[in-house]
Structure 1
Amino acid sequence: MSGTPDMTVALQDRFLRDLPEMAVRWQAQTPPDPRLLVLNDRLAPELGLDPTWLRSPDGLRFLVGDLVPDGATAVAQAYAGHQFGGFVPRLGDGRALLLGELAGEDGCLRDIALKGSGPTPFARGGDGLAAVGPMLREYVVSEAMHALGVPTTRSLAVVGTGRPVQRDTELPGALLTRVAASHLRVGSFQYAAAAGDTGLLRRLADHAIARHHPAAAAAQRPYLALFEAVAGVQASLTARWMLIGFVHGVMNTDNMTISGETIDYGPCAFMEAYDPETVFSSIDFWGRYAYGNQPVVAGWNLARFAETLLPLISESTEEAVGLAEASFGVFHTRYDAVWAPGMRAKLG
C-alpha cells in the first residue's frame, strides 16, 4: 500500500530507473501485529528521519514497507553468486526488498532496505521471513562493527511482525530495516555478465562508478579503474576484519559489496582466542571461510569480479586479462597498508 507519510521521506528509485532488468517490483507482506523492538536513534537523524515520527503508526508502517512514499517503488534485486565455490546464476533478494535510496544529511545516497519482508520471486521455496533473534543479532553486530570503525551496513530498526516463523521450532517473527551505501555486489555483475548483455553490464558498471567510485570515470580505462577501486576498498575491509578477529562466515561473491561495506551478518562472530582455522558456519565443513582464509577468499572473489569486467576493459580478451592480472597488485598493496600498521599499533 502506497501513500504519503506525514513527514517528507524523499526516497529515490535510481536503481530501478538505471537497471530495470535487475529489479522486480514487489510489495512487502503486511505484518499482522507490528511492534517496534529497537530503533537506532543516532542513525535516524543522519538520514534526515525524525525518530519520533518513526515511532508513530505511519513511521512504523514505513519501517516495515507498508507505507512507501510517493515516487518510490519497492523492488527485489537480481544477482548471481558463487556460494561455497559453486556458481548459481540466479539468486536475488529472496526475503529482502530495496525500498529506495535516501540522501542523508551529508548528501550521500543510502539504500533503505528490508530483510525478512516476505517471499519474492527469488525466494526459491523459502518463506521469506526472519526471526527476532537473528535480526536483533544483525542489529547489534553491525552497529558494533560501525563503532569499531569497520565499513558496514547499518541497522535502522528491528520490528516484531507478530507472525510466527517456523524453523526447527516456532519462533517469533521480525523484520530488519537496513541502511547501506548500496546493495551492489560482485554477484550483481555476475548476473549481468551471465545474461550475456554487454549493454546491461556497462550500465551497471557506470551506475557503480557514479554511486561509489566517481574518480574512475576520468581514468583512461574507467572499468579497469573500477576494478582497482573495488579491490582497494575490499582489501582494506578484509584487513580490518583480520585486525579485530572477525569471521564473516559466508564470503560468497553475492556477499562482497562494490562499496566496500560488510554485509549479511549470518554465522559471523569474533574469535575469543587466535586460531586461523576458526569457523562459525555450521555448513562450512571444509573451512573455506575460516578466519585465516579470508584474505585469500577476498582475492578469489575479486578475480570473479574481474572476469565480469573483461568485455568492458578491452575489446581484446587477451589484453583485458593481462591488464586485470596486473591490477591485482592493488589488493595486496592496500591490504598490507592497513594490516601492517594495525598490527603494529596493537603492540603499542
Structure 2
Amino acid sequence: MPAFAFDNSYTRLPERLFAPARPAGASEPFMFAFNSQLAEDLGLDVSWLEQNGAAIFSGSTSPEGAANIAMVYAGHQFGQFNPQLGDGRAMLLGEVVSPQGRRYDIQLKGSGPTLFSRNGDGRAALGPVMREYIVSEAMHALGVPTTRSLAAVATGDAVYRETALPGAVVTRVATSHIRVGTFQYFAARQDVEAVKALADHAIARHYPELEGREHPYLGLLQAVIRRQAALIAKWMGIGFIHGVMNTDNMAISGETIDFGPCAFLDVYSARKVFSSIDRNGRYAYANQPAIGQWNLARLAEALLPLINEDQEAAVAAANTAITGYGEIFQDEWMTVMRAKLGLGEARESDLTLIQSLLSMMEEGQADFTRTFRALYTVAQSDAADAAFRSEFADPQKAQSWLNDWRDRTAEDSIEPTVRAEQMRNTNPAIIPRNHRIEEAIRAAEDDGDFSLFGALHAALADPYSDRPEFERYQAAPLPHEEVPRTFCGT
C-alpha cells in the first residue's frame, strides 16, 4: 500500500499551468515536528510517517504517485506587477482526498530550486520554517481559515542569506494553492482558455454550488469576495498582520497563506507594520481590509472575459461585486467585534463603542490581546475592573469606557454566563507573540534546542484557555524583549 493515495487533479489541467520539479533532498534530515493529528485527518499512515517522514518531507525520497510540480503565477508585489513569479522554492508533492471527502494539496516549501526560482536557491532557512509552522497551526487553533503545517524537517545543510543559516523544509497543507496571481499570469498573456480552465477547476474544487449556474464566473468572484472579507475580519479580530498581502499571497480558497514577515500586535496601533520590506506601510494593520479589496479587483480584471462577452457589461458586473466588498467586510468585522465585546442584538451605537475602545487603546498604549482578555474577565466578575484598567496609561478613562460598556450590555437579554463564554471563545489568552517565536528560533538555530519550539506550540494548541503552566506566553514583551521587525524568508 502506498504511503499516500495521491489523486493529482491539478496535473490534469493544461501543462502550461505548471512545470515539473525535483526536490534537492537533504544530507542529514531530522524531522523536528510532525502533526500526527493532521496526518490522521488526511487519512495518512501516521505510524509509517513517524518512521519515514524525515526522508519524505525533506524531499530526499519521492513517494509513489507524487505530482512533483511547481505552479506558475504572477502577482502585484507592493502594487507593482510582476508578470512571472511561481513556486520558486516550493513543490506540490501531490493531492490527497481525506476520509471526509475533502481534497488537500501537500506541498514541500524550501525543497530546492524550480523553473521559477529566478536565480534563487529555492531553499528555506530554519527560522522561517519554524515561524510558518508555529503561526499557521496557531491560526488554525484560533479558528481562522489557514493553510496548515504537516511536518518540519531540518536538512543538515546550510542556506546562505546575509550569513550561513541552517536549512529546513516545511510541509504545507492547503485546500489548494491557487492564488489571485495564478489567474493574473494567464490574463496578462490574454490566454482566456487557461483562465477558463483554472476557473472551472477552482469552482469544482472550492465552490461546487456554482456549477451549472447561469453566471458561474461572476459567482466565483462574488464567492471569493465573501470568503476574503470574512477572513480579513478574523485577522483584524486577533490583531494579525500578514505583512505581504501581494496578489500572489491571496488564496482564492479564503485561507491564510504564506507566513513570511507576519506578526501579531502587542501594543495596539492601527498603523503598525512589522515587515522589514514594507517601508511605506502599505500592508499596515489598518490597511488590510482595503488591500483585500484592491487585490480582489485584480482578480475581477482577470475574470472579465469569462464574466460576460460584452466587455462593458462585464466591467459593470465586476464593479458591482467589488464595490459590495466594503459592506460585506463591515458586516463581518462588526460581527467579530461584537462577539469580542460580548454584545448581543445589533445597535447603531455599537460602532462608536468599538471605535472608542480602539482609540483609547492606541492612545493609552494598551496591549491588544491582553485588553480584550481582561474585558472577558470583567464579564465574569465586576471585581476584575482593576485588571482591565491596568492595561491603560489612563486608568480613569478606561473605567469610564467600561461603564459605557456595562450600560450597553444591560440592553441585551443575554445571560451573563453566556456572554462570558462567548467572550472567552473570541478573546484568546495566548497568541504567537513575536518575541516568543524569536526566542524559540534562537534556541534552535544557536543550540539545536527545539524544546522552546515544542512548548510554544503546545501553548498555542488551546489559545482560549488560561493554563498556569503557560502563563509566560500570556505576558506582553518587556521593552528589551520587543521584536519590532520581521523578515521575509527568501
- Partner SS state of residue 44, structure 2: coil
Q: Which amino acid aligns with 1:27?
A: R
Q: CA deviation at 1:69?
A: 3.4
The residue number in structure 2 matching 1:105 is: 99
- Which deviates more from structure 2 when the two are superposed, residues 74-83 or residues 268-277? 268-277
| In structure 2, C-alpha distance between the alignment counterparts of 1:127 and 1:71, rounded to whole Å | 26
Q: CA deviation at 1:28?
A: 0.3
The residue number in structure 2 matching 1:172 is: 166
| In structure 1, C-alpha distance between the alignment counterparts of 2:10 and 2:293, rounded to whole Å | 27
Q: Which amino acid aligns with 1:78?
A: V
Contact 1:65/1:99, CA 8 A, preserved across alignment: no
1:146 lines up with 2:129 in the alignment: no
| In structure 2, C-alpha distance between the alignment counterparts of 1:304 and 1:171, rounded to whole Å | 37
The residue number in structure 2 matching 1:27 is: 22
The residue number in structure 2 matching 1:69 is: 63
Q: What does 1:245-264 correspond to in 2, within 5 Å?
A: 245-264=239-258
Q: CA deviation at 1:140?
A: 0.5
Q: CA deviation at 1:329?
A: 4.4
Q: CA deviation at 1:55?
A: 2.0
Contact 1:232/1:330, CA 8 A, preserved across alignment: no
- Partner SS state of residue 36, structure 2: coil
Q: Which amino acid aligns with 1:49?
A: L
- Partner SS state of residue 209, structure 1: helix
1:132 lines up with 2:126 in the alignment: yes
Contact 1:10/1:69, CA 8 A, preserved across alignment: no
| In structure 2, C-alpha distance between the alignment counterparts of 1:329 and 1:97, rounded to whole Å | 36
1:281 alignment partner, one of 263, 267, 275: 275
2:90 alignment partner, one of 75, 87, 96: 96
Tell me the alpha carbon deviations over residues 159-217 of structure 1, each in whole angstroms, 9 at most, x when there is no partner.
01111111222111100000001000000000111121111111010000001011122
- Partner SS state of residue 328, structure 1: helix
- Partner SS state of residue 95, structure 2: strand
Q: Which amino acid aligns with 1:227?
A: L
Q: Which amino acid aligns with 2:184?
A: Q
Q: What does 1:180-329 correspond to in 2, within 5 Å?
A: 180-329=174-323
Give the TM-score normalised by structure 2: 0.68
Aligned length, in residue pairs: 342
Q: CA deviation at 1:70?
A: 3.1
| In structure 2, C-alpha distance between the alignment counterparts of 1:250 and 1:157, rounded to whole Å | 23
Contact 2:3/2:45, CA 8 A, preserved across alignment: no
| In structure 2, C-alpha distance between the alignment counterparts of 1:126 and 1:60, rounded to whole Å | 24
The residue number in structure 2 matching 1:339 is: 333
| In structure 1, C-alpha distance between the alignment counterparts of 2:323 and 2:97, rounded to whole Å | 34
Q: Which amino acid aligns with 1:185?
A: R
Q: CA deviation at 1:31?
A: 0.6
Q: Which amino acid aligns with 2:18?
A: A
Q: Which amino acid aligns with 1:293?
A: N
Q: Which amino acid aligns with 1:343?
A: M
| In structure 1, C-alpha distance between the alignment counterparts of 2:254 and 2:114, rounded to whole Å | 26
Q: Which amino acid aligns with 2:61?
A: L
1:15 lines up with 2:10 in the alignment: yes
Give the RMSD, CA atoms, in angstroms: 1.2
1:161 lines up with 2:155 in the alignment: yes
Query: Per residue, is there more strand in 1 or in 2?
Result: 1
Contact 2:159/2:165, CA 8 A, preserved across alignment: yes
Contact 2:148/2:172, CA 8 A, preserved across alignment: yes
Question: Which structure has the greater CA radius of gyration?
Answer: 2
| In structure 2, C-alpha distance between the alignment counterparts of 1:329 and 1:213, rounded to whole Å | 21
Q: Which amino acid aligns with 2:19?
A: V
1:56 lines up with 2:12 in the alignment: no
Contact 1:19/1:204, CA 8 A, preserved across alignment: no
- Partner SS state of residue 196, structure 1: coil
Q: Which amino acid aligns with 1:270?
A: F
Q: Which amino acid aligns with 1:211?
A: R
| In structure 1, C-alpha distance between the alignment counterparts of 2:67 and 2:338, rounded to whole Å | 48
- Partner SS state of residue 56, structure 1: helix
The residue number in structure 2 matching 1:3 is: none
| In structure 1, C-alpha distance between the alignment counterparts of 2:41 and 2:233, rounded to whole Å | 27
Q: CA deviation at 1:330?
A: 4.1
| In structure 2, C-alpha distance between the alignment counterparts of 1:300 and 1:130, rounded to whole Å | 30
| In structure 1, C-alpha distance between the alignment counterparts of 2:325 and 2:97, rounded to whole Å | 30
Contact 1:80/1:89, CA 8 A, preserved across alignment: yes
Contact 1:54/1:63, CA 8 A, preserved across alignment: no
- Partner SS state of residue 87, structure 1: strand
Contact 1:223/1:312, CA 8 A, preserved across alignment: yes
Q: CA deviation at 1:72?
A: 2.9
Tell me the alpha carbon deviations over residues 81-123 of structure 1, each in whole angstroms, 9 at most, x when there is no partner.
0000000000000000001111112110000001000011111
Contact 1:29/1:117, CA 8 A, preserved across alignment: yes
The residue number in structure 1 matching 2:406 is: none
| In structure 1, C-alpha distance between the alignment counterparts of 2:106 and 2:161, rounded to whole Å | 27
- Partner SS state of residue 304, structure 1: helix
Percent of pairs identical after alignment? 54
Q: CA deviation at 1:133?
A: 1.3
Q: CA deviation at 1:321?
A: 0.3
2:32 alignment partner, one of 37, 47, 72: 37
- Partner SS state of residue 27, structure 1: coil
Query: Per residue, is there more helix in 1 or in 2?
Result: 2
Tell me the alpha carbon deviations over residues 16-57 of structure 1, each in whole angstroms, 9 at most, x when there is no partner.
111321110111011111111111121110011132211223
Q: Which consecutive unaligned segments of at least 5 residues does structure 1 have?
A: 1-5
